[in-house]
Structure 1
């Protein structure tokens, strides 16, 4: 039988035929695709013609077309609907793909052709986009070790393969801990919980084959449980399991895995001539240096910690009023913060949630994109990888732009968090290829027949991930390597974090925040209170994030620690982390940093981008309209459609006329008096 991954895809929008693909199809398809890729590289290096941009750089861009299709189909399901077979495949594919990447970047004949073009670049009459692709291609080869020789060259290849395996192991260990733990609850344990938390706990119990409700380690369940449960003992038990992910001993313990990853990254950087892995990694980012990252983080840390410590005093007083004389603990913070929010802002999440229906928030995200960029979203019925997924065709002026897939609900087979990925990226080199973009979230799935309700933070997450999706869907470049979100890591969060601002536009919530039972719009006074409380508990949120970013930086700036937990503790002590606030991601479950190189030395990038997103939204405010057409067009033309075709600093300067300072961020988080 023909492997459906390798046959022509006679499907709507050229989607992978998930209704016919079996797990056992992936491995042979990958092998075939790797062979095709090697043959394409050999064709480039064996040709007698002198190097040209077309026969070398453009040919290299097209070399892995089949591999991209196969892996796009595989990784879409591997993270969002893991099975034992798919986890086995990930463990096999990771080192194999790393070795294949090294074959290419350390191919001396291929690099010689690239270097010839680089040295002659001023005579090639390249477009701005082509010149950018040439620079990035050469830089990528150099940073991957193309100029190394002998033992150093071989060792770097070994390091890459081992890091790929360790990243997969880290991810799978974390998923196993999250999947396997749950806390059974008796009916009496549900006392004091809002109906939506009870319903989520019962649905989670049913999913795990339990007779009654359970608390799992899904953020969409454990966070509201910590917010609302009056049972301090149960909060402590659930919190302890949450922060212990990846550090429970046995086969799924990530502490030794993280330590080995750090040592190998340090060795990798040294082989390439860098003082540290942070110096290596940040060289290509907007920040450029570890010192610049630390300067930003510490500018935010001091006012955030001061706010958090003042908040801790208030929460401790509330705890005393409840007759508890011990210290305020991490499992107490959310519970008393929620009570304080209700007291000070007259906001009860249980009353707000019915107005934040998932379907209506999806409509809101689409509506804002229509008003800003003219896109339309039409639901389509296509074969997808899981029954929870749904899809929309995205068009503008009747022209197909993208297929957008939403996979919104938590399940045991899905890794935690939220993310955006592209099953296929936009490009024009091989024709007018339009993207297939996926948003994956972990919202609580409702009981059958009930609407899915979101917290305000959930709604922000939905807008955030759709901002990433817009960056992919509105991309308009020639080369896939610079398409969509293929930008500096500390620039990639700009479109996503900027898009969150439109959720806070009063007219958006006034239209789309409607009650799940009555259909009535959110009362004006509730809307006003919700928006006024947007920075509530911002000290906590900022401190837990910045603490994680500073630990990440410390891990990669100096010598790799033998004991990651000891080094983590040293950093947190040095910065004076308030005792009742843990870092957002402790090292054994810090997937951003250890599941791959993406955010290693780069967790700060959310805040670097926030400096820009706060300033960028001010452009709309200065225009007097959150949907100002001229500003939206400039955002589209200079940021969202350009991918990585221009340096990130230049792109932002073209949009805003200058680079921003940290002031707008501090103001936006309520960390200044301004």
Structure 2
């Protein structure tokens, strides 16, 4: 009912005019996407020329270089980010194609800017000028460093020949990455099993049985094999299926080898010991030695929990088989004996009363008002602003500053929509009244007469700029979209606890975007270090289960109805079941990622691939189950390409979130003083402040002192805090 009320209070206005999707005036139809992209490129080219001419136009122009770089980035990202979102969410195939083309064209153009030596040279001159740097605001200095590092990661400081080699290696990495993600890596694509050996699986696999020979034929790309691992009583069958699922063909292994070696070659080219060193230099971790220190300390801290989980599986297997001594639990035993043990535990209802989508959004609004002094207000959308009838628009209202941003909620599944829950940045915060765009033509084309009216396209979103109470100037307010894949029954039905946590998680990102309103687009909101960005969202998950938070989800009209925390506690107990095994597996995967990306430059070897040897070595050194000869799971580890030496980040932020929760919110999750401190010390900075200082200031006292330097000891300290959630 609450979500329907949001709809009633947010009608689409039809006044005979159509605005563009998400209020972008050009995104009205497919043709508008290309027009928006070309207009962005035209304006960007003018800003580029202005930046490159800055040294000859005097000190004042040099002082504006970082601001103009930020404008340049924002000009492109406004279209890129919106196109990226729509190509994952819009139901119209024509618009999807248009969004894809706009996205590709602008990314191609942006890649040329990343290798523009003229821009890099001017930025370097600015940062070498102590007088200019001394006048930087914290936001401005942070943005300047981010721009410089982005240039250097693109090999811009290299001589021409080596820069060409850098581009060639980068293109090869993208090609290898696509092959790594897209191809079927398994050496065995189908498993043949006699029907009588599927005892325990029930009728779930009856569709796979060939009546002529009485065998089931299971594709290793389907979920059928997972059912065998979980339910099949026959140990040999589970082993056969496990080995097949984790098999690898030679081509996939070699693609992985070439991907790692090419990345190693790229790192060597830019003077870094390894690709991990290259990627981590601007992260909280700083280098792979520190990541290893964190992971190994965390592994040690969690070992009692992991060992207890293994003991449970050993006892379950021992009792099930009637053995006199605890047996070895193999990799193919894990799911089966976890299931057997779980069947002896209390079973839970998948949903809780009062947790519909609408009541959850309402509860979040009340929670944020208690913590940060902000709440949601449903608002109308103009004709053409939305992309589907299920979309809702929420303005975020601060008690002191007024309207500070907008959240579009697209929360229900539909055909063609991506199934992953996600937070999409549509527009970031930045100050715009000091853009000085009227002088772009003058400084871009010095000594030439060019009419702005004939050449310079208008800024499409200038009309959306607004003043903010308590701040000087006018601002582009942040706009984000949240997407989930909740069942359509959720519009009036109940969400599962997993879905509730998912919504809390994504709203954690949303608050980071709304409250991290810096003057510079490139360091606002969630544009921060990748091993810091998940902290606010993971922290939000903890609030779901606290007894003081649950009543916020109950309608005021539900006279006296309270929400029992018993069902929530039972759910948390179930979720923590075998959490030691889960965390150990995440540590193992993080170590694989680090080890692979620390490989030194060398020739890929078909006869003895380094990736296979490292995988089995780490399984036996770190893992809880003995390695299985002939298997090579990492060829399925797609995050090796996408995260590239950063997979540890989620574990790292889980650990930080655990500590912040324990120190600040566990006793009273509605403590306004603690909430305001988290807003002021973490969220409001976006990526404009050293995240170690942000976390240290929130924790304070001894914890803060031990981590504020962000060194190897700090990483060990975080690892030793552990994860209990």
In the superposition, relative to structure 1, how do residues 65 and 670 fare at CA in structure 2: closer, same or farther (>3 Å)? Answer: closer
Alpha-carbon offset, residue 535 of structure 1: 3.1
CA distance in 2, matches of 1:570, 1:378: 54
For residue 72 of structure 1, the aligned residue among 81, 84, 88 is 81
Partner of 1:420: 423
CA distance in 1, matches of 2:658, 2:691: 16
Partner of 1:608: 652
Partner of 1:314: 312
Partner of 1:210: none
In the superposition, relative to structure 1, how do residues 163 and 192 fare at CA in structure 2: closer, same or farther (>3 Å)? Answer: closer
Alpha-carbon offset, residue 306 of structure 1: 5.0
Residue by residue over 1:426-454, the C-alpha shift from the partner in whole angstroms, topping out at 9 and shown as x without a partner, is 111354111221233445x2559862532
Q: Is the 8 A contact 1:305 1:577 kept in 2?
A: no
Alpha-carbon offset, residue 166 of structure 1: 5.0
Partner of 1:406: 409
Q: Is the 8 A contact 1:270 1:276 kept in 2?
A: yes
Q: How is 1:75-90 mapped onto 2 (pairs within 5 angstroms)? A: 75-80=84-89
TM-score for the superposition, normalised by structure 2: 0.71
Q: Which range is displaced more, 307-316 or 335-344? A: 335-344
* 1:485 match: secondary structure: coil
Q: Is the 8 A contact 2:525 2:685 kept in 1?
A: yes
CA distance in 2, matches of 1:578, 1:461: 29
In the superposition, relative to structure 1, how do residues 423 and 569 fare at CA in structure 2: closer, same or farther (>3 Å)? Answer: same
Partner of 1:451: 493
Q: How big is the alpha-carbon RMSD for the aligned residues of Structure 1 and Structure 2?
A: 4.8
In the superposition, relative to structure 1, how do residues 466 and 274 fare at CA in structure 2: closer, same or farther (>3 Å)? Answer: same
In the superposition, relative to structure 1, how do residues 509 and 520 fare at CA in structure 2: closer, same or farther (>3 Å)? Answer: same
Partner of 1:280: 278
Alpha-carbon offset, residue 116 of structure 1: 1.6
Residue by residue over 1:252-299, the C-alpha shift from the partner in whole angstroms, topping out at 9 and shown as x without a partner, is x96555444323322221111001011111111111121111111111
Partner of 2:670: 627
Higher relative contact order (CA 8 A, sep 6+): 2
CA distance in 1, matches of 2:172, 2:33: 22
Q: Which range is displaced more, 483-492 or 612-621? A: 612-621
In the superposition, relative to structure 1, how do residues 436 and 173 fare at CA in structure 2: closer, same or farther (>3 Å)? Answer: farther
CA distance in 2, matches of 1:271, 1:453: 51
CA distance in 1, matches of 2:241, 2:504: 30
In the superposition, relative to structure 1, how do residues 318 and 496 fare at CA in structure 2: closer, same or farther (>3 Å)? Answer: same
Q: How is 1:121-200 mapped onto 2 (pairs within 5 angstroms)? A: 121-123=130-132, 124-164=134-174, 166-167=176-177
For residue 58 of structure 1, the aligned residue among 57, 67, 70 is 67
Partner of 1:640: 683
For residue 271 of structure 1, the aligned residue among 258, 269, 272 is 269
For residue 621 of structure 2, the aligned residue among 562, 569, 575 is 575
CA distance in 1, matches of 2:543, 2:653: 17
CA distance in 2, matches of 1:564, 1:376: 53
In the superposition, relative to structure 1, how do residues 532 and 555 fare at CA in structure 2: closer, same or farther (>3 Å)? Answer: same
Alpha-carbon offset, residue 589 of structure 1: 4.4
Partner of 2:640: 593
Partner of 1:553: 594
* 2:548 match: secondary structure: helix
In the superposition, relative to structure 1, how do residues 385 and 320 fare at CA in structure 2: closer, same or farther (>3 Å)? Answer: farther
Residue by residue over 1:508-538, the C-alpha shift from the partner in whole angstroms, topping out at 9 and shown as x without a partner, is 2355489xxxx97654543444455553322
CA distance in 2, matches of 1:365, 1:448: 17
**Highest CA radius of gyration, 1 or 2?**
2
Q: Which range is displaced more, 523-532 or 629-638? A: 523-532
Q: Is the 8 A contact 1:227 1:338 kept in 2?
A: no
* 1:499 match: secondary structure: helix
CA distance in 1, matches of 2:617, 2:106: 35
Q: Is the 8 A contact 1:506 1:527 kept in 2?
A: no
Alpha-carbon offset, residue 363 of structure 1: 3.5
Q: Is the 8 A contact 1:170 1:591 kept in 2?
A: yes
Partner of 1:374: 373
Q: Is the 8 A contact 2:393 2:408 kept in 1?
A: yes
Q: Is the 8 A contact 1:405 1:437 kept in 2?
A: yes
Unmatched 5+ residue regions in structure 2? 1-16, 191-197, 206-218, 436-473, 708-713
TM-score for the superposition, normalised by structure 1: 0.76
Pairing 1:649–2:692 present: yes
In the superposition, relative to structure 1, how do residues 564 and 90 fare at CA in structure 2: closer, same or farther (>3 Å)? Answer: farther
* 2:112 match: secondary structure: helix
Unmatched 5+ residue regions in structure 1? 1-7, 182-188, 202-214
CA distance in 1, matches of 2:92, 2:145: 40
In the superposition, relative to structure 1, how do residues 138 and 470 fare at CA in structure 2: closer, same or farther (>3 Å)? Answer: same
Partner of 1:38: 45
Q: Is the 8 A contact 2:425 2:479 kept in 1?
A: yes
Q: Is the 8 A contact 1:543 1:581 kept in 2?
A: no
In the superposition, relative to structure 1, how do residues 567 and 469 fare at CA in structure 2: closer, same or farther (>3 Å)? Answer: farther
In the superposition, relative to structure 1, how do residues 332 and 323 fare at CA in structure 2: closer, same or farther (>3 Å)? Answer: same
Q: Is the 8 A contact 1:594 1:600 kept in 2?
A: yes
Alpha-carbon offset, residue 394 of structure 1: 1.8
CA distance in 2, matches of 1:90, 1:167: 23
CA distance in 1, matches of 2:228, 2:543: 26
CA distance in 2, matches of 1:297, 1:511: 37
Alpha-carbon offset, residue 169 of structure 1: 5.9
For residue 481 of structure 2, the aligned residue among 433, 438, 458 is 438
Alpha-carbon offset, residue 57 of structure 1: 1.6
* 2:476 match: secondary structure: coil
In the superposition, relative to structure 1, how do residues 449 and 626 fare at CA in structure 2: closer, same or farther (>3 Å)? Answer: closer
Residue by residue over 1:72-123, the C-alpha shift from the partner in whole angstroms, topping out at 9 and shown as x without a partner, is 2221133456998899889978886565344323323222221221111345
In the superposition, relative to structure 1, how do residues 142 and 230 fare at CA in structure 2: closer, same or farther (>3 Å)? Answer: closer
* 1:420 match: secondary structure: strand
Q: How is 1:380-395 mapped onto 2 (pairs within 5 angstroms)? A: 380=379, 382=381, 383-386=385-388, 389-395=391-397
* 1:506 match: secondary structure: coil
Alpha-carbon offset, residue 423 of structure 1: 1.2
In the superposition, relative to structure 1, how do residues 663 and 115 fare at CA in structure 2: closer, same or farther (>3 Å)? Answer: closer
Pairing 1:566–2:612 present: yes
Pairing 1:294–2:292 present: yes
Alpha-carbon offset, residue 401 of structure 1: 2.0
Alpha-carbon offset, residue 139 of structure 1: 3.0
CA distance in 1, matches of 2:274, 2:21: 48
In the superposition, relative to structure 1, how do residues 173 and 538 fare at CA in structure 2: closer, same or farther (>3 Å)? Answer: same
Q: Is the 8 A contact 2:120 2:156 kept in 1?
A: yes
* 1:63 match: secondary structure: helix
CA distance in 2, matches of 1:129, 1:377: 27
Alpha-carbon offset, residue 640 of structure 1: 0.4
